Amino acid sequence: MSRTTIKLENVTLEFPRRRVTLEPFGRSLMNLLRGGRRRTKDTFTALDQVSLDVKEGEVVGIIGRNGAGKSTLLRIIAGIYKPDRGSAKTLTHPVLLAGFGVGFNVNLSGHENAYLYGSILGHPRPVIHKLLDGIIDFSGLEDFMDQPLRTYSSGMRARLGFSVATAVQPEILLLDEALGVGDQEFRKRSSERIRSMLKQAHTVVIASHSFGTLQQVCTRAILVDKGKLAYRGTLKDVTAAYNGNPPEPANMKPPQDAE
């Protein structure tokens, strides 16, 4: 009996529709104090009553159109957003891989950025220190590590970011469309590393449009549509549902009753 590592219960998340509120300052303040839970025309429901249980050993693919809520769902699991209603819990602190090199400073050297980015990812200095040789090796940037980052090309920055971000094997891995970066050679090596991380991670949730990749790694899949969990099942069924012809519409389980 494997343990549940990610548990979402009726997660609802609403975004304000306008980035800059033109309403009077007092009203936006009152709305904030009320917890922003007022349901008005001004909000956009990014996730609507999403429940999901992921167990140890599962690799779950998230499929859905642009803007359906895939990345938002991953951010909820990672703790970046807090659900307005419902709850999101995990067994370990998850690692979300989406865009490498967050918090890089162009005036610092490659070394310094490796430590800085590592600590932003949650790894204390001694941990990065121990992993540094491996990071430099994998990035292939040993001749540039003492140079400030502003002298790096964007590909080199991505390589350094990727090498740091993937240096520690997490228990719970969340992937957002990030299967390879850099030039052809590095892209190949980085996809290989992601694949091996997928194998070793105890739990994986992966959002992607690349059905080929999902096919190789996923044990099951879910379809997110307009913020709702529209379908769950094997990747094949979910892909069919995505394309508009779910295999057995009559038997489709309402998401809340699954599991």
Partner 1 sequence: MPDELHTVPGTELTEPNPSTSLVGGLGKMWRDVQRYQYLIANFVRRDLRVKYRNSLLGYFWSLLDPLLLSGVFVVLFTIVAGKPQKLYPLWVTIGVLSWGYFGTILQQSIASLTGNEGTINSIYFPRCLFGIASASSNLVMTSMNLLVAVPFMLYFKILPTGYLLMVPLGLILLGMLALGAGLALACLEAVNRDVGHLATIVVRAGLYLSPVLWTVEMAQAKGGAINYLLLNPAAVPMTMIRNGITGHKLPISPGQIAWSVACCVVTFVVGAMIFQRFEARVIKKL
**What is the binding site for partner 1 (CB under 8 A)?**
4-5, 7, 13, 15-16, 19-21, 25, 28-29, 32, 35-36, 75, 78-82, 84, 87-96, 98-99, 102-103, 105, 107-108, 112, 115-116, 119-127, 130, 168-172, 202
For partner 1, the closer CB: 115 or 231:
115
Burial class for 168, CB neighbours closer than 10 Å (0-12, 13-18, 19+):
middle
Tokens representing 145 are: 């590590």
- What's the closest the beta carbon of residue 218 comes to partner 1, in angstroms? 22
State which residue, 44 or 215, has the beta carbon closest to partner 1. Answer: 44
**Closest separation between CB of residue 121 and partner 1, Å?**
6
Going by their DSSP bridges, the two strands 95-97 and 172-176 should be labelled as parallel
Which is nearer to partner 1, 82 or 188 (by Cβ)?
82
Start-to-end C-alpha separation, the chain: 14
Least separation in angstroms between CB 135 and partner 1: 14
Of 82 and 253, nearer to partner 1 (C-beta) is 82
- How far apart (Å, rounded) are the C-alpha atoms in residues 77 and 90? 7
Give me the least distance between CB of 137 and partner 1, in Å please: 19
Residue ranges of the alpha helices (H) in 34-152?
70-78, 110-120, 125-139
User: Taking the complex as a whole, how short is the minimal distance between the CB of residue 122 and partner 1, in angstroms?
Assistant: 4
And the tokens for 32?
């904030």
Give one DSSP letter per residue of 200-219, joined into a string: H-SEEEEE-S-HHHHHHH-S
DSSP β-ladder status, 228-233 and 220-225: antiparallel
Write down the H helix ranges in the chain.
25-33, 70-78, 110-120, 125-139, 154-165, 184-200, 211-217, 235-242
If the CB atoms of residues 81 and 242 are measured against partner 1, the closer one turns out to be: 81
Q: 48 or 112, CB closer to partner 1? A: 112
Euclidean distance between CA atoms 157 and 101, whole angstroms:
7
Nearer to partner 1, 51 or 247 (CB): 51
Shortest Å distance, C-beta 242 to partner 1: 26
Residue 97 C-beta: closest distance to partner 1, Å = 9
